Structure formats: structure tokens, C-alpha cells
Structure 1
Amino acid sequence: MSATLQTPGVSRPVPEAAAAAAPSTPHRSRWRRAFSQPKTLAGRVVLALALILFSLLFLYPFAWLLAASFKPRGEVFDNALIPRTFVPENYVEVWNQLPLLSWMWNSVAIAFLAATAVAISSSIVAFGFAYFRFPGRGVLFGLVLATMMLPGAVTMIPIYLIWKETGFLGTWVPLWGMNLFGSAFYIFLQRQFYLGLPRELFEAARLDGASNWGLFWRIAMPLSIPSFVIVFLFEFQASWNNLQAALIYLNAGGVEDFTAPLGIAYAMTKYSPTAGGQGDYQYVMVASLLVTLPMLILFAFGQRYFIEGVATQGRKG
């Protein structure tokens, strides 16, 4: 049976059948051979040793932080990965020294609002660029991408003045409100994913009477869950680590209103001997370790969406 779609006067090959029948290019074959698993025992041993070495390099900062969190004040910076003196009481005392629970709650709430807002808004805009055909679409999309070329320092003062005029200084709104208008990078990422969806699905839904919103919400959105989760995780991490915005918009409030990055920066100043502190940086190490755990847990649950998204992009390529 011929793998073609028959239309009056037109015979068009099915994309899947055409892709399966197309021979692999020499360029792609070279890449496959270069990144395929070694077939000899020596090659596999060398690959395993290289992976272990790079893994240890990436894990060393976390191991150092973990060791420092169990040390007394005088041994925090001795670079020993095994503490000479274990002080597990640091994990109890840190809650009395710092309002860490309030900082973590503030960061979780702000990061969730920011990630949800940018993931939804960017998905809607990206679907418009991917599905609809209208005059000037390429120029408009180019302008959206051009906004990524603007340094953050250029827009920092105008954005601050906007939030000042709206009366939201000192609140959470400036830390997530701008995400309601999408992000150029996430729009580009989502658009590339939507372009890989079969257009026949949307045409069939259109014949069944689906509206434009129905095409997005009932077809495009369920099929783009991997890319949506990737955008959500990226923005959650970016918002979680955003010290600059918190320093600008929350620094005038109470200590309990700080986010985790701003709180840790405050703790570094609080315990600094030059600021009258006693050098109790072990509490800073404990706080730094604890605020990394939510991101580790989040990425552990979301890693399968990363793999699925990469695999989907690979099939499109």
C-alpha cells in the first residue's frame, strides 16, 4: 500500500514514511559513530573513568558545603571534606539564628507564581507564532527575539520606575508580575516544539468546530507538557536564585520578608566580623545547603520531562 495522502491532483508522502525511507546523511552518521558507546572493553573503561572524573568535579562544591555545615565555627574554611569535629547541632540552631522557614516559603511562593505565569503566557504566544499565518509574523517574531539582545542593566531603571508608579515597591508583585507578558527565550523554545506537532490534528479539530482557544488548550497544551515542564523548571530555578530583584524590591522590608538568596546575603553580613558578628558562618553553610534541597527534589521529579523533551527534539531533527 502506498504511503501517500491522496488529494485531488496531489500525491503527498506521509511525513513518517518519508522520514523512515530517507537514507541517513553522512554528516548524521559521523555524529552517531562519534557519540556511540565504545565497543571495546578499554574504550568503555576510559569512558566510565571520564564520566566519574567529571561527576566528582561537579559534586565537589556540594560535598564541601555539606562538610562545612557540620563543622564548628573555627573549622568552616579548613577545606577538609571530613570534619574533624562533627557538630550536628548546627542544623537545630540555624532555625533559632535565622528566619529560614520564612525565607524558603517566600522563595517557593514567588518562584511558583513566576514560573506558572511565564510558562502559560509564553506558551500562548508561542502557539500563536507557530500555528497562525498572518502578515508580518516573521518580523514580529524577530522583534520578540531581538529583546533578548538588550542587557538587563538597560531595562533595570525603567522597570523600577514602572513599579514605583504602580505602587508595588516592597511587595512580591515586581518579582513575578513581568512574567505575565512572557519571555522571548521561552517563546522561542515553545514555538519550536509546537512546529513539530502535526498540523493535521489542528485542521481536524477546526472541522469539528474547535475555537482558537480550544486548539491551544485541548490539543497543543496536552501534547506540549514536556516543554511546558522544562520552561516551568527553568524559570522556577531562575526565580529561586534571583538575588538582584529581591535586593532591589524587598530590601527595604523586614528580614522575614526576604527571599532565600537575599536572606543568605543578609546572614553573611550579619555574621561578618567586620560588621560586628562573631564569624558564625557554619549557619550560613547550613542555610545554603537547605535552600538547595527544594531545587534538587524538583529536578529529580522533572528529569523525565527533560529526557522526553530532548528525545522529541531529536526525532524532529
Structure 2
Amino acid sequence: MTSTSPVPDVGPSIKKVKSKTRAEKLQTLIVYVLLILFSLAFIVPFLWLISGSLKNSSELFSNPGIPKVFQWSNYKEAFTAFPFLLYLKNTLLILVVNIFGCFISNTLIAYGFARIKWKFRDAIFIIVLTTMLLPFQVTMVPLFLLFQKLGWIGTFLPLTVPAFFGNPFFIFLLRQFFLGIPYELSESARIDGANEFKIFWRIVLPLSKPAITTVIIFTFLNTWGDFIGPLIFLSNNKLYTLSLGVQQIMSVNDPRWPLLLAVGVSMTLPVLIIFFLMQKYFIQGIAMSGIKE
């Protein structure tokens, strides 16, 4: 006589799985809808910037939509309304020097705070962090007086030399990333006879590409769009940067808004391109810098 075991009722389990799947899909849909709505707050102004750069002055304020006739000549006229190539060269020169200075200074300082033990290290690091509380408007006048005493006003030195003395935020970002690198790698290198600089250059830096890329992106953004610094420290218009040169296509009585918007689009595109090319390293640098020591 064969006995048959009762077949379990899987109906309720299947219903639970289906309801859970539907809830997850609904939750994902809501998240995507909210993200799209929030992104419109940033996308719409940029689309209006592009649209306005392709209109004439009369249509700019009367037609908020797509231009009736695309005024591509606005870009050509904008680049000839002021010495664009000269100001671009000045901006790129300051940019390259600042990126190099930030890379050298911030990585070395952060390595000293993260990987080398010395007296009062943590106390001095806290002091460095507190300087982040001081906005540029507070230090602007003392810096101007200092650079004036040094005879640097009217040169690129006030805009480039400070990059070689470190940035508190970059130091903090890199230090947190360096702390996440296993100390066993450094100890193994020391056993093999490597000194501290070789450990820094050959082990720590290659493993810190995401954080270093993040620092480079922030340096690029700060330098590319800097207006206050060149306005204060540069007195010769032959040394102007792009952000200062934009003022020259505006007049008091008749602002040339389409040309201004065309230059705005041209200055925004490099930022977007660099971010999209390096966004993987940028996100990794920000996320992994939060690793606890």
C-alpha cells in the first residue's frame, strides 16, 4: 500500500512573490519619476541657454521656445567680439599650473596626514580642516595686501601659487582615500627596501586614481569658472581669463545677450564633456573617500 504525501499549497507564496515584484516595480517607477522631475530643474535652464544663444535680441525675450530662425552667426560674432583665443590661452595656462600644483601639494600633504605617524599630526589636521570654515570673502583683503607687498598684483602668480600650498577640502578627500589603502602594502614595500617616497609614488598614487581624478575635476571647475580671483588680481586686459572677457561683449546701454549666452554655452560644454568622461572615477573618488580608517 503506497502512501501519498499531501502536496503543499504554493498559491499564497506565488501571490506574495508577485505582489512583492509589483511593489518593487512601483517603487522603482516612483524613484525614476522623481529623479526625472528633479533633473528638469537643471536641464531646462541649460536648454534655455542653448536656445537663447541661437536667437536674435528681439526674439530672446518674446519667444521662450525653439528659435524660429537659428542664428548660428551669434557664435562667430561672440568669438570675434573680444580676443577669445588670447583669453582662452590665459585660462588654460592658469588651469594647467593649478592642476599640477594641486596634484603635487595635496597628495603629499594628505599622504603625510594619512600614512606617516608624527607628533601632533591629528591636532594639526583638525586645524587644517577648520580653515574650510573661512570663505574667500574673509581672506580676500588680507590676500590682496599680501600679494601687493610681494608685487604680484597684475600677474598670474596670485591665481597659481596658492595651488602649491594645498587645499583643505582636497587634503581631507585624499587623506580619507589613503586611509582605505591596506597598510600591509606599505609594510611589504619597506621590507623590500623601498623608502617613503617610493611607497607614495609607486603604490599609493596608482591605487588612488579615483580620488586624484576627483581633485582634478574640482580644480578644473574652480579655475575654469573663477571670476572673483581674476577680477581682483588682474589689472591688464591682456591677462584676462574667459570669465572676465565675457564682460567685454556687454555694454551698459545695450547688453548683447545672445552673444553672452553663446559664450556661456561654449564655456559650459568643456565642463560637461570632462565630467561625462571621468564620472566613473569621480563617483568612486567621492564614495570611497568615506571609508573609515
Decide whether the 8 Å contact of 1:113 with 1:176 is kept in 2. yes
- Mapped to 1, the partners of 2:134 and 2:147 lie a distance apart of 19
Unmatched segments (≥5 aa) in structure 1: 1-36
The residue aligned with 2:266 is 290
The residue aligned with 1:58 is 42
The residue aligned with 1:67 is 51
Q: Deviations over 1:220-257 (max 9, x none)?
A: 1111111011011111101111111000111x212x42
The residue aligned with 2:182 is 198
The residue aligned with 1:230 is 214
- Mapped to 2, the partners of 1:180 and 1:119 lie a distance apart of 8
Q: Do residues 253 (structure 1) and 229 (structure 2) align? A: no
The residue aligned with 1:306 is 282
Q: Do residues 279 (structure 1) and 245 (structure 2) align? A: no
The residue aligned with 2:3 is none
- Letter paired with 2:241: T
Q: Deviations over 1:15-71 (max 9, x none)?
A: xxxxxxxxxxxxxxxxxxxxxx98533333322222221222210111011011011
* 105, 123, 126: which one aligns with 2:107: 123
Decide whether the 8 Å contact of 1:193 with 1:227 is kept in 2. yes
- Aligned residue pairs total 273
Equivalent runs, 1:1-317 vs 2, <5 Å = 40-78=24-62, 80-250=64-234, 252-254=235-237, 256-268=238-250, 270=251, 272-273=252-253, 278-310=254-286, 312-313=288-289
- Letter paired with 1:288: G
Q: Deviations over 1:174-205 (max 9, x none)?
A: 11110101011111111100111100110111
Tell me: CA distance 1:211–1:39, structure 2 relative to 1, closer, same or farther (3 Å). Answer: farther
SS in structure 1 opposite 2:155?
Answer: coil
Decide whether the 8 Å contact of 2:173 with 2:289 is kept in 1. no
SS in structure 1 opposite 2:40?
Answer: helix
- Mapped to 1, the partners of 2:256 and 2:119 lie a distance apart of 62
- Mapped to 2, the partners of 1:38 and 1:301 lie a distance apart of 36
Task: Give 1:310 shift.
Answer: 4.3
Decide whether the 8 Å contact of 1:73 with 1:279 is kept in 2. no
- Mapped to 2, the partners of 1:109 and 1:43 lie a distance apart of 49
Q: Which has the higher contact order (CA 8 A, sep 6+)?
A: 2
SS in structure 1 opposite 2:62?
Answer: coil
Decide whether the 8 Å contact of 1:100 with 1:287 is kept in 2. no
- Letter paired with 1:262: L
- Letter paired with 1:164: Q
- Letter paired with 1:41: K
Decide whether the 8 Å contact of 1:64 with 1:79 is kept in 2. no
Tell me: CA distance 1:220–1:65, structure 2 relative to 1, closer, same or farther (3 Å). Answer: same
- Mapped to 1, the partners of 2:54 and 2:142 lie a distance apart of 44
The residue aligned with 1:32 is none
Unmatched segments (≥5 aa) in structure 2: 1-20
- Mapped to 1, the partners of 2:22 and 2:35 lie a distance apart of 13
